[in-house]
Amino acid sequence: MKLSGMASVLGAVFMAACVAAPPATEPTPANKPEVNPTQPKSQPVPVTPAPPARMSRGGPWSFTYAPGSYAYTIVTDAVIAPALDTTQKRQVPELSQKTTISLSASGDLQVVDPAPGTTASCDSSSALITRAQQLIPKLPNQLAVGDRWRDSTTTTGCRGTIPAESTVISNYVVIGDTAFTNAVALQIHRTDSLSAAGEGTEGQHRIIVTATGTGVMDLFLDTAAGRLLGSRGLQTSLVSVTTSGKLTQFIQHVTETASIAGFR
């Protein structure tokens, strides 16, 4: 299948597909996390650099999510290129979506809008629900600059029009107070090692999609109000697509930002 026919599938299916919301884990001493992600051999654009070497001051902080309803805007865009010729890059149109979630003090999340569908089929609303469920990470209640912890999770859900399962190993480090828009926020940097697999159809063709790669994300918290103000991330993946017995591979770079629109 040509890139023009596959780009809509890949852009919708694995755009931010593996960024999950792991369970809370208490911080451990600041040892360097052991991460062994699978890196694509070719990359059409550079990856976001590691967290700043000079950490901000502040803290320690006590953090608990304030229960309530929160509205977020999630914006994603992607660049996809054939793994055999990364000069043939294709820009996927930017996608901006709004979601409303209900959050408990423990960080348990329920998507209010869009409402869950009544069928098992995957559509744009189902894909947004999956992404919204992964928006808020569970965090330790006590945080200090330099704290590090590691966790992993496996999730299932709709990635575009294809049901998929994703496994993510995440490593966190607390950076400290930093400027975020017009406020001061607690910044937490996360690195991810990810893998995903899904299966679906396009017309009469059965499609099997797998992805491996890495991601980085910065989370910005309002510790006084107990809420996530926003996040910024980049994910780089090697996506393998098998259709009609033919394997095609792509390098995919996805950027994602989330920002709070209000809460009540």
The per-residue pLDDT for range 32-69, each reduced to its tens digit, is 444 444 444 444 444 444 454 444 578 899 999 999 99
The per-residue pLDDT for 75 is 93
Among the residue ranges 11-15, 54-58, 151-155, the one predicted with the least confidence is 11-15
Q: In this model, does residue 6 exceed pLDDT 50?
A: no
Q: In this model, does residue 235 exceed pLDDT 80?
A: yes
Q: Name the percent of the chain lying above pLDDT 90.
A: 44
Domain count across the chain: 1
Burial 23-55 (b: 16+ CB within 10 A, else e): eeeebeeeeebeeeeeebeeebeeebeebeeeb
For 106-133, write each residue's pLDDT tens digit: 778 888 888 876 666 676 777 777 778 7
Average of per-residue pLDDT values in the chain: 78
Segments forming the whole domain that contains residue 227 = 3-46+55-263
- Token readout for 227 is 């809420």
